[in-house]
Structure formats: structure tokens, C-alpha cells
Structure 1
Amino acid sequence: MTDPVIRPLVAGEETLFDSMPDPLPQLRQMGYADGVAGGGYRPEHTWVALRGGRVVARAAWLLPPGAVGSPWLDWFDLTAEPELGAALLRAAHEALGGPLSYQATLPAYWRRRPEVLAVVAPPMAAARLAGLVERGERLRCTWAGTPLPATAGRYTFRPAADAAEVEALVARIGDPEVLTGKEIARAVGGVDLATAPLAWLGGLGDNWRVALDAGEPVGLAGTAGDACYPLLAWLGLRDEAARAELLVDAVRVLAEGGAREVVADVDGHRVAALAELERTGFRRLRSRLLFEPAGAAPADRADAPRSAVTTG
């Protein structure tokens, strides 16, 4: 067997990267050349493995212009053995100054789909061989105009009075259930979306909704109708029973503002929140499996979709 050649790209080799057939075309929303033109992908952050002149592995680390963080592995395809993929990652990590995080983007319900598992298992095995450790899964869900369910009407809702009220409720809630785009907020702006959402989302108006039980705030939802797409950016509860009605209220406000689609990100272990999103009419769009260097503490990393490197 021909010894593989592992190397970074050089400027002008976008067609070499694209010469490898796309194993999961349903996930690709932006071509590699477009990413280079936009400044997120760079030849020196892109590596390939060639065997007999044919690309059998490719990896691209993403860093949006102006980002304050480090590049993260955003695109990793492998049709060869996991050991070759691991060798590519180790060579790239050495050149990039050390192991970096990997965001493995996967179709919804990927564990149930043998044809998808056959594609994604080799690069994930390669990541583990290269010293990366799975740290969790993020699910992106989308609401696309389905009728909102009726609610019991136990809670009332109003816009947040001011930034001080939002900040006070964020501090009291502590652990929000829905955080959409938290990784890109961390990587691009250096912002912890969970604890300082106004630093990233900004604005008030009707974007922040407070759930009230007999006048007492029991939940908070932050929306963004003018980001890269309408999104439920932040949702946290002091009373879990308010979850259903707060979700419906937040989506209703976005829909009345003209949104035809709303996206929301939730951690895979938040079973109750995911179930309520689905009862509200959200459907799973994709998953993202998060890998970090072994020994590193879990941290928020960039989660920008290939089609956008903005607040979504």
C-alpha cells in the first residue's frame, strides 16, 4: 500500500480539499472555498491525507475573523482507517500549537441510522486515538411554523423591565436549559452566554420575556429575531412547571414578529427540556458531539454552523 502523505494545504488548493466526495451532503451548508473567502477557513489550518494522490482524509479548523479564541476542528472526513486520521490530527495539532477541540456535526438521530454510523464512526475513532475525549452532545432543534399547543394559562408574561432585571434573574436562575450559540459567543466574543447573555445578545424590548406566578418571576426567556436567524437564545426556570408556557410564549412573540422558523440549542442530557421543545413543535435538526483534549476541563467551544459565524 502506498505510504500516505499528510500535509497542510497551500493557498489555491481549495479544489484538492473539495475533491473528496462529501459523505454527509445533508449537513454541508457552505463550501470550503466559500469559507476561505469569508476568512473562517485558512489553508494553514487545513490538513489532508493523500494516498496514491487521492484525498482520503481532510480536516479544517475554523476561526471566524475577529474571534478571540482558538481554532476548532469543524470539518473532518475520513474514508481510510482511524489510525491514519489520528496521524493527521496529531500532525496538525503539533503545527497548531497543541490539541484543539472538535465539533463533530451529525444528522439528527444519528445513533439510530446504520448508514450514518458507518460514516461518522471512523473520524470519531480517530479523534479518540489522537487524544480527544467526548465531553457531551448539543442538539439543534427548529420550529417551522407548526401550530403552538394550548396552555393552561397558569402563568402570565411580560417583557423584562430593564437590563438590571434580566441580570438579576440570570443570576438567580444560574443554570439555563436552552442556550443557542453559546460556543460561538465564547469563541468569537469571549462571552459566557449562560451568565452574561446581554453582553452577547444585547437589546431588550420584547426580546426578554419574564414568566410570572402570582406576580413572582419564575422564568426568563431571551429571544433574538434579527440575528443570523430567529432563535430562542436563552431560557431558564425557577419553577420547572413554567417550562411549557414560557416556551410557547417565547415562540409566539417571535412568530408575531415575522419569524417563520426558530432555532434552539439544548444539551443532550436535558431530557425534560428536549421533550418540551418537541411538544411545542420543535424538531431535531442535527446533533453536535463535543470533543476536548484529554485532561482539559470541559469548556464552551465554538459551535458556529458552516453556513454562519454570527450569533446563531
Structure 2
Amino acid sequence: MTDLVIRPLVAGEENLFTSMPDPLPEVAKCGYADGIAGGGYRPEHTWVALHGGRVVSRAAWVLPPGAVGRPWLEWFDLNAEPEIGAELLRAAHAALGGPTLYHAALPPDWRHHPAAAPPMAAARLAGLVEQGERLRFTGTGTPKPRPADRRYDFRPAADRTEITALVNRIAAPQILTGTETARAVAGIDLATDPLAWLPGPPQTWRVALRDDEPIGLAAAAGDVCYPMIAYLGLIDPDALDALLADAVTVLLAGGAHEVVADADTYRTGVVAGLRRAGFRPVRARITFTPAG
């Protein structure tokens, strides 16, 4: 494309960014104008590729106010060959001081959507490496009825000390919702230090017990941006269904109409457990990191 122009936006050009039709409208996003108003998106962190004055690729890096890290690529669309998108990314990376993380938001069945492939191919050409895929689930209404599992009891966490002790015993939590945001915004590892990110009182955490021994922990977080199971970790993996149902029931009793939960796609047992509980996938998120 001999007349290709790649450049960042200048203030007041929000309409140029939004002039490109969304190739994946089924993926819910924060509006670009809303992101500009909130301070997360900035014109100098937003790049477009123009061919004949028409936007054929766009990319927006986000850095929320107060965030401790570098901007990360949150929005990247491409209606051209992958090399055009890679050229845009290389130009932006040079201006931003080097490649950054890219969190690609996609439909959960993205492999069946042709529009999903070009941006990821462009990211690879620009030197980014795919690291993992997570699914976002939502559940509405009462959990699907299941036979009561009388092996387990549940109660609120006693205090932060109990929560920390259980977190230290759980090697790899089954559910971590918003872990990418916690790390990018505040440098917090949600798996090992969830209390640094989750603001609610200890009593919003649920402890699963078997024979009076704690064997699981869940953060039924109803006071963050939306009701979610922010953390769920198990010492006894057989307690997944029971603890998941307990956490959802607590959130619904607190007035939630929809509950959100994230899980890695390779955790097939967790994904199956969420489906059994009545959750459905609404978004996939693939993380790309700079090579090396």
C-alpha cells in the first residue's frame, strides 16, 4: 500500500478511531470515547493505519490513572493483511519505548471467526509471543440444582489472617478473575496476594470445610466493579462444585443479577465445573508478551 499512513491520533480525533467498523462487535468493550474521558486511553497511545484516508487498522494502549506499569495493548483491529498491522505495532512500540503486553479480547469461539486471526498474526510478526488463553464466564439466576454434597460445610472467613494462611496453602487457584488487570495496574499477583487487590471485608470470603478442616477459599466479591468470584482456590479439588455453588448463592443473596468468573482454558475441569454451575463463556482473552 504505497499511500499507507501510520501515525498516532491527536486530541479531538476520537471519531477517526471509531470510524472503522468493529470486526468483532459481539465482544463487549469499553467505548473508546469513554476510555478517553476516564483517562485510560490517550491520543498519543492510540495509533491508526490509514489507506486512502480510511482506517484499515487501529490500536489503543491503555494505562488507567494511578497504574504502576506501562501501557498495554487493549484494542487492536485489522482489516488488511497482517504485515500492515505488524508495521503499525512496530511504529507504536518504537514510540512507546518498546513492545508491551497485548491482551487480545475475542469471542469465546474465536477460532470460527475469520476476523480474529489477522490481529494475532500481526502481533506475532511484530515480535509478540502468545502466552495463554483465559475465558470469561457469566452466570445469571439461581445455580443449577445439584444433589447436596454433605461432605462440605461453608462459613465466612474469620479474618485476614485466616485468608492469608489458606492462600499460602493453595498452590494454584482454580479461578482468578481480573488477574491481568491486577498485575498490569498495580503489579499485584492475584494468586499469591489477593487481599492487596480486593477491597472487601474478610467476611465476604467463603471458607469450605470438610470435617471442620478448611479445604477451600473463595472471594465472593460483590463490591468491586461487578459481582464476581474473584478468587477460588482448593486444597480438596473435589469441592469445586460445592464451593462454586456456595459463592454464587452468597452473591445472588446480596443482590447480584449476574456473576463473573475467569478461568484458564487449559483448566478443563474448572471450565466444566463453571458450565455445570450454569455459567456460559462470553469472552476469550489471549495474552501476548514481548519476545525474550
Tell me if TM exceeds 0.5. yes
- Rounded Cα–Cα distance in structure 2 between residues aligned with 1:146 and 1:161: 26
Match of 2:217 in 1: 220
Structure 2 Cα separation of the partners of residues 195 and 30 of structure 1: 28
What's 1:125 paired with?
Answer: 121
2:274 to 272, 277, 290: 277
TM-score where L is the length of structure 1:
0.91
Question: Secondary structure of 1:136's partner?
Answer: strand
Q: How does 1:287-298 map to 2 (within 5 A)?
A: 287-295=284-292
| Alignment pair present for 1:231 and 2:254 | no
Could you report, residue by residue, the CA deviation over 1:105-140 in whole angstroms, capped at 9, with x for unpaired residues?
0012222x2xx2x10111110000000010000100
The match for 1:33 is 33
**Count of paired positions:** 291
- SS for the counterpart of 2:120 is helix
Query: Which residue number in structure 2 is paired with residue 94 of structure 1?
Result: 94
State the Cα distance separating 1:223 from its structure 2 match.
1.5
Question: Match of 2:180, as an amino acid?
Answer: E
C-alpha deviation, 1:205, in angstroms: 4.6
Aligned equivalents of 2:157, 2:198: Cα separation in 1 = 14
CA contact (8 A) 1:72 1:103 kept: yes
Unaligned runs of 5+ in 2: none
Normalised to the residue count of structure 2, the TM-score between the two structures is: 0.97
Q: CA deviation at 1:202?
A: 2.9
Question: Alpha-carbon deviations, 1:198-229, whole Å to 9, x = none?
Answer: 11113335311111111111111111112111
The residue that corresponds to 1:76 in the other structure is 76
Matches within 5 A, 1:129-168: 129-150=125-146, 151-168=148-165
Per the TM alignment, residue 53 of structure 1 is displaced from its structure 2 partner at its CA by: 1.1
Q: Distance in 1 between matches of 2:135 and 2:289?
A: 18
Distance 1:149 1:276 in 2: 13
Local SS of the residue matching 1:43: strand
Identity of aligned residues (%): 67
Kept in 2, the 8 Å contact 1:132–1:293? The answer is yes
What is the one-letter code of the residue matched to 1:93? H
* Gap regions ≥5 residues in structure 1: 296-312
Higher strand share: 2
Structure 1 residues 206 and 172 mapped into 2: Cα distance closer, same or farther (>3 Å)? Answer: same
Q: What SS class does the counterpart of residue 26 from structure 2 fall into?
A: helix
What is the RMSD computed on CA atoms of the aligned residues?
Answer: 1.2
Residue 265 of structure 1 is matched in structure 2 by 262
Counterparts of 1:39-50 in structure 2, within 5 Å, are 39-50=39-50
Q: CA deviation at 1:31?
A: 2.2
Q: Secondary structure at the match of 2:44?
A: helix
